[in-house]
Amino acid sequence: MSDLRELYQEVILDHNKRPRNFGTLDQPSRTARGHNPLCGDRLTLQLAIEGDRIAQVAFEGSGCAISKASASLMTEAIKGHTVAEAEALFERFHTLVTTPPDAPVSTEGLGKLAVFAGVREYPARVKCASLAWHTMKNAVEAVPATARTEEE
């Protein structure tokens, strides 16, 4: 059970059950979709960008606890921040979940997102954790394609 609790931490279970910023925006300036065809996870992310700042963010879709909690925590982490800050956070998060489990990794600056360090032990689930983030990157860069993570 202890191993499983590393993956399914309380924060993740909580955000899975009660995802924050879940829904749609009235006037989004960016909408991006993410799809993981291997597991069927789907996600639509909307951003309202004012100047260089992400003023509003919302997501909806269906997916596992890891992907849903990751999307929910991401929206909390980027809301009110600049696009550049969101992109820097993407890099830090991506490094966190893709660093091999036996290698040291820094959780500095990741706040609550550090709970996803446990995902490294479950290679099949890394793409679940990163789907929302790839979708966010596409949204801020206005990439029209659906984000996919099967190569993760």
Which residues make up the interface to another protein (CB under 8 A)? 1, 3-5, 7-8, 13, 17, 38-42, 62-66, 68, 122, 124-125, 128
Which CB, 44 or 56, lies closer to another protein? 44
Smallest gap from Cβ 122 to another protein, in A, equals 6
Listed residue (102, 152, 117) closest to 132, CA to CA: 152
Which CB, 89 or 126, lies closer to another protein? 126
Report the sign of the C-alpha dihedral through residues 95, 97, 102, 107, in that order.
Answer: positive
Smallest gap from Cβ 128 to another protein, in A, equals 7
Which CB, 1 or 145, lies closer to another protein? 1
User: Cβ of 13: how many Cβ atoms within 10 Å?
Assistant: 13
Smallest gap from Cβ 91 to another protein, in A, equals 26
- The DSSP output letter for 107 is -
Smallest gap from Cβ 20 to another protein, in A, equals 18
Which CB, 22 or 122, lies closer to another protein? 122
